[in-house]
Structure 1
Amino acid sequence: MNKINKFNELHLSGDVLFLGNAWDLLSALALEKAGFKAIGTTSFGIARSLGFTDGENIEFDDHLKIIKMIVDSVKIPVSADIEAGYGEDIDTIVSNVLRTADAGVAGINIEDSLKKQKGLKEVEQHSRLLSKMRKELDRTGFEGFYINARIDTYLQKENPFLETINRAKAYAESGASGIFVPGLSADEEIKEIVYHVNAPLNLLSLPGLTNCNKLKELGVKRFSFGNALSDKMITLLEKNAARLLEYNETAHLYEE
């Protein structure tokens, strides 16, 4: 079974697919060793590891090199977070998606946020992108490639619920394999979206939204923690670095 098929199957089991989010090769290998069944890269974490902020501020080639390094070094499926596709037009974005697929990933996250300004792409515009993406992936031998359509309504809108359902339906009809709604956390809204949208729902870990077993009861199929682990590791590094100079002492590096 190839990794694309395996990744799709992980969304169809009775359990929530708990995705481990990696930002470099070391974190990917650690997540695989811990037993995660699949890895999703975090663009936020990758950007920070290279000294940049998130938001397509690094060169796509540099981003893709890290993704490929992870794919080439782990045995489990990898899904790549490529933000909004690193392009201003459909052809450029689709080309970048095909290059990402060529790197060996089993799927991508692709978001509907604008990058040069605040706001979201028009539903019809993003649906056309997803349709062309799916068509070109199928045409070039990547049938079943997992397109996780990220919907940023809960990050940008005052009353996002109804618009989220409309966007989710449109994206699923346009070729998305699943939908990803970061910021969604209310139980009733989660259940309603699961009921109305014919595509697996992916949620992002938040304070108070942390338990896979509870999410399974609500109908969620995939759960990820984004940049939370990379942020924790960076904070740990900064605290330890500061402590070294504060005390002129290295003893704490050897503490259990």
Structure 2
Amino acid sequence: MNKIQEFNNLHHSKDLLFLGNAWDLLSALTLEKAGFKAVGTTSWGIANSLGYADGELIDFKRHLGIIKTITDNVKIPVSADIEAGYGEDTETIVDNVLRTADVGVAGINIEDSLKKQKGLKDITEQCNLLSKIKTALEQHGYKDFYINARTDTYFQLENPLPVTIERSKSYVESGASGIFVPGLLQKNEIKEIVANVNAPLNVLSLPGLTNCNELNEWGVKRFSFGNALSDKVIDLLQKSAEQLLESKDTSFLYEN
């Protein structure tokens, strides 16, 4: 069984897939060593590690190089966060997806947010993109490659649930393997999406939405923590650096 098949299977077992989010090789190896069954890259974490804000501000080749370094060195499946695809047109985005598949990942996250202004891509445009991505992947030998279609309705709209269900259904019909709805928090809304969308649902860890066992009972199939761990590490690094300078004493570095 190859990593693409292995990754697919993880979304259809009785247990929720708890996905560890990595931003460099060290974090990926650490998550693997801890026992995570798969890792997903976090574009926010990668951007921060290079001194950028999130939002496709890094050259795609540079971003892809980090993803490749991770996939070359871990034994578990890797899913790549490529934001909205790092392209202004469908052809460029599809090519970027194929380049990402070529470095050995088992899947991608691709979102429907506009990058240069607030708002969501037109649903027909996004469905067309997903369909062309699916076709191109299959034509290049990447059958069952996992396309996690992220919709940012809960970050962008006042009454997101109906539009989320509409977009999710359309994305699945257009070739998405699963649906990712960051910002989704309420149990009843999670269960309604699970009941109405025939694909695995991925939700993002947020304050008040943290427990894998509860989410598994609600029908969620994948749970990720995005940039939360990388933010925690960066905060610890910053506080430790400040403590070193303020105390002029390194003793706390050796405390358990």
Tell me the distance in 2 between the aligned counterparts of 1:85 and 1:218. Answer: 30
Please give the per-residue CA displacement for 1:79-98, whole angstroms capped at 9, x wherever unaligned.
Answer: 00000000010000000000
CA distance in 2, matches of 1:87, 1:65: 17
Q: Give the paired residue count.
A: 256
**TM-score when normalising by structure 2:** 1.00
Q: What residue in structure 1 maps to residue 181 of structure 2?
A: 181
1 CA distance for matches of 2:218 and 2:111?
23
| Structure 1 residue 123: Cα displacement | 0.5
Cα distance in 1 between the residues matched to 2:187 and 2:31: 28
Q: Is 1:20 matched with 2:10?
A: no
| Equivalent-residue separation in structure 1 for 2:89 and 2:170 (angstroms) | 20
Query: Residue 121 of structure 1 aligns to a residue in which SS?
Result: coil
User: What is the CA–CA distance in structure 2 between the aligned matches of 1:65 and 1:249, rounded to whole Å?
Assistant: 38
Shift of residue 13, structure 1, vs aligned partner? 0.2
Question: 2:102 matched to which residue of 1?
Answer: 102
Find the aligned partners of 1:205 and 1:240 in 2 and give their Cα distance: 26
Please give the root-mean-square deviation of Cα atoms over the aligned residues, in Å: 0.3
Paired with 1:179 and 1:88, the residues of 2 have a C-alpha distance of 23
Q: What SS does the corresponding residue of 2:253 show, helix, strand or coil?
A: helix
The aligned amino acid for 2:86 is Y
Distance in 2 between residues matched to 1:252 and 1:63, nearest whole Å: 35
Give the partner amino acid of 1:179: I
Compute the displacement of 1:73 (Å).
0.3
Separation of aligned partners in 1, 2:205 and 2:133: 28
Measured after TM superposition, the shift of residue 247 of structure 1 is 0.8
The amino acid of 1:77's aligned partner reads P
User: How far has the Cα of 1:99 moved from its partner?
Assistant: 0.1
Which residue matches 2:242?
242
After superposition, give the CA deviation of every residue in 1:91-132 in whole Å (9 maximum; x if it has no partner). 000000000000000000000000011100010000000000
Q: Which residue identity does 1:95 align to in structure 2?
A: D
- Three-state SS of the structure 1 residue aligned to 2:57 is coil
- Equivalent position of 2:88 in the other structure: 88
SS at match of 1:84: coil
Structure 2 equivalent of residue 139 of structure 1: 139
AA matched with 1:239 = K
Q: Provide the secondary structure at the position in 2 that maps to 1:167.
A: helix
1:1-256 alignment, distance < 5 Å: 1-256=1-256
Q: Which amino acid aligns with 2:24?
A: D
Q: CA deviation at 1:44?
A: 0.1
Instruction: Give 1:134 shift.
Output: 0.1
Residue 253 of structure 1, CA deviation: 0.6
The offset of 1:144, in angstroms, is 0.3
1:70 deviates by 0.2
Matches of 2:8 and 2:67, distance apart in 1? 19
Q: Which runs of 5+ in 1 are unaligned?
A: none
The alignment partner of 1:109 has SS state of strand
Shift of 1:254: 0.6
Q: In structure 1, the residue corresponding to 2:80 is in which secondary structure?
A: strand
Shift of 1:227: 0.2
Residue 35 of structure 1 deviates from its aligned partner by 0.1
The sequence identity of aligned pairs, in percent, is 71
Q: Residue type matched to 1:52 in 2? A: Y
CA displacement 1:166-198 (0-9 Å, x = unmatched): 000000000000000000010111001000000
Instruction: Summarize deviations over 1:8-43 as a string: whole Å, max 9, x none.
Output: 000000000000000000000000000000000000
